[in-house]
Amino acid sequence: MRRNVKDTIVRDYGKLDELRDVKVPRVRPEDSPETPAGKAPDPELGTDTIAHARYYDHEFMKLEWERIWTRVWLLACREDDIPEPGDYVVTEMGPESVLVVRQEDGGVKAFYNVCQHRGNRLRGPGIGSAKTFKCAYHHWEYRLDGSFENIPDLETFPQGAPCRGLEEMRCDTWGSFVWYSFNPEVEPLLDFLDPIPQHLAPYNFDRMALTRDVTIEWDCNWKTSVDAFNESYHVQGIHPQLLWYLDDYNIQIDCYERHNRYLIPFATISPRVKLPPDVPPAIKAIMQEAGMDPADYDGKIKDLRVNIQKFKRKHGADQGKDYSRLNDDQLTDDYHYLIFPNITLNIHADDLMLFRQRPHPTDPDRMYFDVQTYELIPDGEEWPERPEHGQFKHGDKSIGLVLDQDAFNLPTVQQGMHSRGYRGLWIGNQELRIRHFHKVIDDYIYGPDGKPPGAL
């Protein structure tokens, strides 16, 4: 049964008299050979409120579809979801459905999931394997490359067969993931993702196995969800237990051209609370994961993070975990990225938690929240079987305490967006990524001339 996450909050940690003075040791940029560790200059984004109508306005939703979703690269699946020729994934995006197919030559192609005869969808959402794609209506049949295999009674079509089979779209791979775009003119994937590939290559996501795959239907706009993970200011409000797990205040925010990130120190104590006498339970779990015995820890609580980093650096290779391309901070911290517009990545040396935020086909007050967890599999260890995809409505099942806490307020935030008494999003520096995200949305929607006066 789902717990009421309000019960998890006993005290008000945002009202404490003073923040503990914490100097977080951070890796020097020159000691981070691959993923840049240095702070990017903050963009000048002003202090205006962000219009709340963006979160429910149907016209704005239409603009997003026409100028964002159908212009950018979007995440389809993992390459190892479709290892063999004929393996396919159907993924839904707004009103569209996309069919991603592994080709005979090992490549990947993406198609609109629609039969060119009477418009039926060829396959339902999910993963499967096919020799051909035969429409369930009149049995028009397509090969893996989208060309026609068979059209029953072709002689009864005086116009002949359509000149092309399935409508193909742009498709490419990066970082063990398959991406597609509705935009035939889209820039190359690596250009769109820049600088993400350079930043994240050292994690070698291809060594991580999918261990959880669920979709939750949330009663909020997709941006309400993106925003929820684009700041750590909410930790003191809804995740009190994390104050003994991470430093939610001394974070580094970096905004790039269209993507952004923050670096959150993990395995440490928030400056909002005093140092505890013992190793907090969740940090014990980090230590045990790394092969450390918390009972054997003789260092200081404030040095936990650095000592865990040192331990992992020293023992990682023996455990079949190659950390050689990562800097020390990456061994403990959350390198947290937003790949515009809708991919949130919580990245650690040993795991990746990926959120994909998808809009509802017609309703700006609803969305689909995909959660996938990937775990680094030590060399020589057998990979777990791919978990079955689960889908349910918000509140029907727990998705873990932290995400339950995250999800708790979203429907009421969405309701508040509609209020005539709400004056718009009042964004602070801790939420700079939200401001940046909306600036990139503006760039896509309004183009180089900028937002016209009075526009959302």
Partner 1 sequence: MDLGLKGKKAIVTGSTKGIGRRIVDLLADEGCDVGICSRDAEEVEAAVAELKKKGVNAVGGEVNVRDGDAYKAWLETTAEQLGGCDIFIPNVSAGGGMDSEKNWWKNFEIDVLGTVRGVETLMPHLEKSDAASVVVISSTNAVEFFVGPMAYNAMKAALLNYAKQLSQFVAAKNIRVNSITPGPVYFEGGAWEMIEGTMPDFYKATLKQIPSRRMGSPEEIARVTVFVASPAASVLQGANVVADNGFTKRVQY
Residues that bind partner 1 (CB under 8 A): 7-11, 13, 240-241, 243-245, 273-282, 284, 288, 293-296, 298, 300
Closest to partner 1 by CB, 226 vs 279, is: 279
Question: Rounded to the nearest whole angstrom, what is the least distance from the CB of residue 247 to partner 1 in the complex?
Answer: 15
Task: Give DSSP secondary structure letters for 192-241.
Answer: HHTTHHHHHGGG-GGGEEEEEEEEEEESS-HHHHHHHTS-STTHHHH-GG
Nearest Cα neighbor of 268 from 352, 334, 321, 323 is 334
Question: Rounded to the nearest whole angstrom, what is the least distance from the CB of residue 40 to partner 1 in the complex?
Answer: 33
Closest to partner 1 by CB, 122 vs 403, is: 403
Query: What whole-number distance in Å separates Cα of residue 70 and Cα of residue 83?
Result: 27
Query: What whole-number distance in Å separates Cα of residue 186 and Cα of residue 128?
Result: 28
Closest to partner 1 by CB, 179 vs 297, is: 297
Answer for the pair 316, 323: CB distance below 8 angstroms, yes or no: yes
Closest to partner 1 by CB, 198 vs 288, is: 288
DSSP state of 448: G
Question: Rounded to the nearest whole angstrom, what is the least distance from the CB of residue 12 to partner 1 in the complex?
Answer: 11
Closest to partner 1 by CB, 106 vs 277, is: 277
Question: Rounded to the nearest whole angstrom, what is the least distance from the CB of residue 283 to partner 1 in the complex?
Answer: 10
Question: Rounded to the nearest whole angstrom, what is the least distance from the CB of residue 20 to partner 1 in the complex?
Answer: 10
Beta bridge pairs of residue 110: 100, 169
Question: Rounded to the nearest whole angstrom, what is the least distance from the CB of residue 296 to partner 1 in the complex?
Answer: 4
Question: Rounded to the nearest whole angstrom, what is the least distance from the CB of residue 244 to partner 1 in the complex?
Answer: 5
Q: What is the dihedral of CA 302, 306, 307, 309, to 10 degrees?
A: 150
Query: What whole-number distance in Å separates Cα of residue 322 and Cα of residue 91?
Result: 33
Query: What whole-number distance in Å separates Cα of residue 251 and Cα of residue 331?
Result: 16
Closest to partner 1 by CB, 1 vs 163, is: 1
Query: What whole-number distance in Å separates Cα of residue 289 and Cα of residue 285?
Result: 6
Closest to partner 1 by CB, 10 vs 163, is: 10
